[in-house]
Structure 1
Amino acid sequence: MSADRAPIRVLHVDDDPDLRALAAEMLALESGRVETVGATDAAEALAALDPGTVDCVVSDYELVDTDGVELLRRVRERDASLPFVLFTGKGSEEVASEAISAGVTDYLQKGGGRETYAILANRIENAVEAHRASTRAEDRQRRLEQVVETVPGCVVQLDREGRFVLANDRAEEVLGLTESALSTRTYDDPEWRIRDLDGDPIPDEELPFRRVLDTGEPVEGVRHAIDWPDGTRKVLRVNGAPLFDGAGEVASVVFSLTDVTERLRDRRELEAMHDRLETLVSNLPVVLFGIDDSGTFTLSEGKGLAALGFDPGEVVGREVDEVYADVPAIREDVARALDGEPARGRYDLEGSVFDVVYEPVGSSRAETAVVGVGYDVTERTRRETQLQRSREQHRTLVENFPNGGVFMFDSDLRYTLAGGEGLASVGLTSADFEGKRPSDLFPPAIATELEDAYRDALAGEPRAFEQSFAGHHYRVRVVPVGEDGTPTETGLAVSQNVTERRNRRRELRRQNERLEEFGDVLSHDLRNPLNVATGRLELAREECDNEHLDDVEVALDRCLELISDLLAFAHEGTATVEPTPVSLDDVARDCWRTVETGGATLSVETDARIRADEGGLKQLFENLFRNGIDHGPADVSVVVGDCPGGFFVADDGPGIAADLRETVFDAGVSTASDGTGFGLSIVKRIADSHDWDVTLTEGDRGGTRVEFAGVETA
């Protein structure tokens, strides 16, 4: 990460914790670089000001223990240049004047809108970047002074007025003057008697200092002669380079001066330094280029050229209009820079995306009129595009979530995203949630349960529970957004409206009560008379042999069979469902062994584990297996497998006609003349007790396929 895009640590001093929290959120929203820590008063703020821990202080004017201007004075005693922004609701010319006198970096009145925080974020960034640039400039100057003192050659630094501001010890050997004596001279002092190698005066605009200052470009290998104070004539080889300030203007010029009348190690050192500089430029992960006033490339260096299909120096001497004939935006931006206006552009070139900055250098005599730097932002652009697309898809999904809501929340338990069709049913909108906590929206009991679950999820532990609100009943699941069991900064909550399902269960319970009564009638009031009739039939057979008695026996057996099925049907309607994790494979194979299968075969094509009542699931499989065997050929094949949302049971028997598929789940309906019609009805009731959706279709190989959806996996 470059220094200019590094995170910015802000100390926000205000006695209102809600305002500090709001400011932290808004600043983070407006600038992804700002990281905010809070302090209630001046004492706490000063205690937090360890060197290097804070990049900027933002303070209210009215503090608990003092005021913002007094805090500023105390901060300045510790750090005279640390950015300090007075962000206050108390605005007056007197406060502003006092703050400016105390050295405040910026002054801004509070406001409730996002625009105020956008301005505050911008001013913080500008102040910190300026401070960092100033610090870097001071560091560069210190390093320069250290380098100058250690370089074996003569090195001097001149300010914009051409005055000597720095010279190392070797300067006296090359220029014949001490550093203090040099401080009284300028680059064009007449006592130098500057001449070219032919002895002719050199015009001011051609002197090395003026060329570097005017063009912003370095000079190398310029030779001219000077006079020492004792009249000795020296020929110097001059190499000069500009030093820029934060605004990109030439702030000073550094020269390396070599007495070429005595070619010694200074020349070799300078050549070695030149080689290292050339290697550095060639390996920079950017594109560096220069363009003259005719639109011709004068420089092209940097590793970034490879992404454009060029080698370093390959386009030098070619015109921009030729190289980028099919990219009008580049030609337009270069033309703007040649007219003296800095330009910036983003281009898709050869499949790579580059951000390019053009800077005019402004001298009619300069070989290069425009310099530019290009940055390969292909990967960053791709990530930004994917992120934006993902956000749009996510928001669309959330906003259209059926029969409930989806909510994202941060480490402060505040909602960052909310949506779903179910919000309107309780009189809320997405905007009502964003930035709020559950305690801001819901009654205490509901809010407390939600916030406890959110904290658990942020700690890495998912939660699931049910709640009632505004006449609706919801099933809520809360999970961390990250790896399971790992603390995270973001959580996700999904709320599903199960009011209708709950009402259906209540209705089923009422039906179960009636079925229990019905079961009592079947088990006692009907079975007992039939048992008596069966006994009397046996006595009648002992007294006479009449073919009518055979028909009576068949009818009685049929009645007892119907009673058994009706009892099973009633029992399934009243059974308590206790879901546990079960294996579809294990349960299906166990049930197959309890059914009269004859020549039928079973194939299990799933290894899924689901949550179900094991006893009820076994009866579901047994009834489906019997149905396939009873209605199919002797060698019928039965398959159990996965389907979207659950599982299926299919056979390759004769199947069920399309016009009967909607009624076969009704009690007493059978496609066989000797069937009781309760097998599939029991299957339907078991599915309903688990809140599963059951569908009957034709199988892939013909026959019957029964699908179960809405099944919860284990």
Structure 2
Amino acid sequence: MGVEPSVGTLHALFVDPDGRIDSVIETLREYPDPIEVQSVPSVADAVETARAERVDLLVVLGALEAEHEPAIDGIDAYERARESLPETPVAVYDYNWDNERLKDAIERGIDTIKGVPEAPELVYRQLRSAAGMEVDPRTDSELLESLFEYYPHQLFLKDDVGRFEGASAATAREYDLARSEIVGLTDYDILDPETARQTYEEEQALLASGEPEIERIEHYVDDQGRDRWVSITKAPRYDEEGEPIGIVGSSRDVTEEKRKEYMVREVHAATEHLVRMESKAEIGRAAMGLTEDIPVVSRIQVVLSDDATGELEPLSIDDGDSLFETYRDRFEDVVETRQPRYLTTGGQAAGEFTDERDISIAILPLDDHGALGFAADADTFTEFGIDLANILASSLEAALDRAGRERELEEQNDRLEEFASIVSHDLRNPLNVASASAELLAEETDSEHVDRIENALERMERLIEALLTLARRGQVVGETEPVALEAVASDAWQVVDAPRATLTVDSTGTVVADRDRLVEALENLFRNAVEHGTGPDSQAPDDAVEGRADTTVRVGIRGDGNGFYVADGGDGIDPDIRERVFEMGYSQSPDGTGYGLYIVSTIAQAHGWSVEITDSKSGGARFDFTGVELQ
């Protein structure tokens, strides 16, 4: 309980040169306790006023320079006022001082008043104290007595041999003693022998080293067999000559904090196996079985949303009450809005959790997978209980995401495998028969129709190869690693039959990618540039196989460091069809398969990259790959 100020009226005189503390003065004038306040613009005016009227305290302004406000040297004003009015108490009103300026004032023994607009009573009490009208009669021993009596954690003082010289009420209660009874005892009197011996040795070592021990966590089992944890801080204390004379220490019970940490770890550990399960239903039921690992909940309900129909499927693992059946409308609302809902013990709904309401049911969204419901183990949830529920919801959502991606990937790979089988067997076999027959026919006749047949069969062969490549490329990329862009570009260029074309690497860098897939993407881009150097909407020249004499393909790291590019010197690609050229089977060239750039796009997407077509500096096509990790 604070000391009441004397009832005498305080007459305070402020020196405010430019009116910047008018608001403070007005607040004090309206303050209900006895105070009279006036202000003058200068120290000289204040001295004149103090000599003519009663002034219990003169307050000069001290301020650092600020926008539109000049600095005011409060310490200089203080010294001038003290010189002229040696019998009048003087203080400095700290307008915006930094710590360095405040420390300077304190070292000079200057009383400082800190203006706090929201706490006029604090300003008032500071003024009375500086005027000598509020004196705290308590001695140091009385203050220490208050600290020991009311501080909620354990505090203690020991001498250099481990005897208690003082202890807080909380420390005494821990051992069922009064504060007066613990003085003079040692740890050997109140602890088991082994713990007492360890404590004594630790404190003697601390006295010898002089190094404090800060927030050491210690575990023990109480007399009821419960696990407990405490945070211990100890430091040596010294006499006036600097010799160690004992220990000052504190101990704080952190059992609840440690139990929370334990529960969080247990929830994380319990949900790790969810990511190894295959079906969403299996994952959901496993999550519902985690109530023993999450002691703050009594029941968990997983409700999945059917991908095709949107129908909700509540999962069950036993014959217990279904939260979904009881709160169906709430679950449907959460799935539709993807926003959490909380229900109080009285059945009222809330969109946000707050300790001020008795929340007993929590229903959390699982993105597009459904919803996750919890019933509190006790009557209501604490904030920590909701935090645990959110941790489980995040883990469950991640597991469901992975299961969905893997199922889609499995279905995709099944389709690709079937497609590759059809291409390699059902098309290649008759193609081989037709090719053999064309060879025999060429031996029997020199008809121009034979050449047309052979050209068509060769085109079919190229088309089959492209389709098989597409089927393989559609699968997820393998392990990625740092690869040198210049090296993979060189490897890809070796495959392109273009002795009259040129590859130029503008800038080098290291790309994190599946090396084989990156090589294959570059092969397709290089082949596209060489064989269709004037763009996909033009005819290939007669010497396309050897490459155009003036064809130059450039590769380099983007200037913004967000990926790489491949550019050529052709006629470019019409902006109207740039999006379409990545479509499967699209080509405006009679000899094109329409799969090359689609394969490039597929490989980029599998890496998580984006690819965009723009114009190169020479007017050709430029393919920019962004979202690429560079090293």
Structure 1 and Structure 2 fold alike (TM over 0.5):
no
Q: So what's the TM-score if we normalise by structure 2?
A: 0.41
Higher relative contact order (CA 8 A, sep 6+): 2
Q: Which has the larger radius of gyration?
A: 1
